Amino acid sequence: MLNNSKIYDSVIENLSDELNEILMKIPHSHKLRTEEIRMRNGRPLSISSGGKDFFVAINGSLTSIPSNAVIVNQKHIIDTFQIISNYSVYAYTEEIKNGYITIRGGHRVGIGGKIVYGLNGVENIKNISSLNIRIGREVLGVSDNVLPYITKDSNNFYNTLIISPPQCGKTTLLRDIVRNLSNGVVGNSKGFKVSLVDERSELAGMYNGIAQKDVGIRTDILDGCLKSDGIIMAIRALSPDIIAVDEIGGKKDVEAIHEALRAGIKLMATVHGGTLEEVRNKSSMRELFRENIFERFIILDRSEGVGTIKELIDGYSYKPILFREGDLNGSA
């Protein structure tokens, strides 16, 4: 696996030559922590690093003053877009319709521009005006301390919901839980068959049919598939022990989850939210809570860095299960 600095270097290879050279010069400490690189036509080049936003000057220094930063132009965006689409925009039509392209390494590039509608909804994005590169980093082992609380024994798993505000590490934690369950957790050489429904290509980071992230040896991946469709497809064809999905919430998601539970399949999922109470009050989630579907709740925040586990709550008593808090880098 590439270290964080090499991951950054591999990502900026997808940018235009001029921006690549500039971003190569940023301080090494920020290369390790950069989460996003944002390019907006006619606006300053910026990055998000360590949870903070910075503008990038031509010498690679980071500044809070927009006027000191490099200004992104249309050529920067066109050249970068050609690189990330491998000079074949047509081949990425389906991804572009969803607003992003997944590049080698499993990183996602969000696209802003003129949305073109057709009979079947969004058909294309043209006149590209902005690109947002989200750097996806694997952190292997971040779920090790959580596993004893979400596995009953070597053959059973608690239906688990990860609750997290945006950019607090829920996808990283979910991915590593899937990897551990699939490979076989400590004391469980069998492992679980996991079906991973990866609607936004963020969990496995599929690129040309190959997972760029380690999601385990017994994991089947349904890439770019709607969660509701993927859950049903997994039930019918993949015979999983566990289905894992990111960011549930729609009515069809809930209906598909019920189908999985009726088939005796366990569920691992995430949802956006700051607190358990906030999620319970979402109209789309009330039915799942009313039926006590989830047996464990993991609440994340950024109080001690990205991925801080704020609470782990029992789904029957709604009382916290006591253990040491820690972030996704393994501190406690």
More confident residue, 91 or 312: 312
pLDDT band at 328 (very low <50, low <70, confident <90, very high): very low
- pLDDT per residue as tens digits for the range 170-220: 899 999 999 999 998 655 557 899 999 998 888 998 887 888 899 999 999
Q: Does domain 4-134 have CATH number 3.30.450?
A: yes
End-to-end CA distance of the chain: 24
In angstroms, the Cα distances linking 71 to 16, 42, 80 are: 13, 6, 15
Q: How many helices (H) and strands (E) does the chain have?
A: 11, 18
Q: Please tell me the pTM assigned to this model.
A: 0.80
Q: What is the DSSP letter of 205?
A: -
Q: Does residue 107 contact residue 134 with C-beta atoms inside 8 Å?
A: yes
pLDDT band at 2 (very low <50, low <70, confident <90, very high): low
- pLDDT per residue as tens digits for the range 55-81: 999 999 999 999 999 999 999 999 999
- pLDDT per residue as tens digits for the range 84-137: 998 888 888 888 888 998 888 888 899 999 999 988 888 889 999 999 999 988
Mean pLDDT of the region 155-165: 91
CA-to-CA distance for 172 and 156, rounded, in angstroms?
A: 23
Inform me whether the pLDDT recorded for 255 exceeds 50: yes
Inform me whether the pLDDT recorded for 221 exceeds 80: yes
Inform me whether the pLDDT recorded for 302 exceeds 80: no
Inform me whether the pLDDT recorded for 326 exceeds 60: no
Mean pLDDT of the region 290-316: 86
- Would you kindly state where each structural domain of the chain is located, as residue ranges? 4-134, 147-314
Q: Does domain 147-314 have CATH number 3.40.50.300?
A: yes
Residue 331 pLDDT: 35
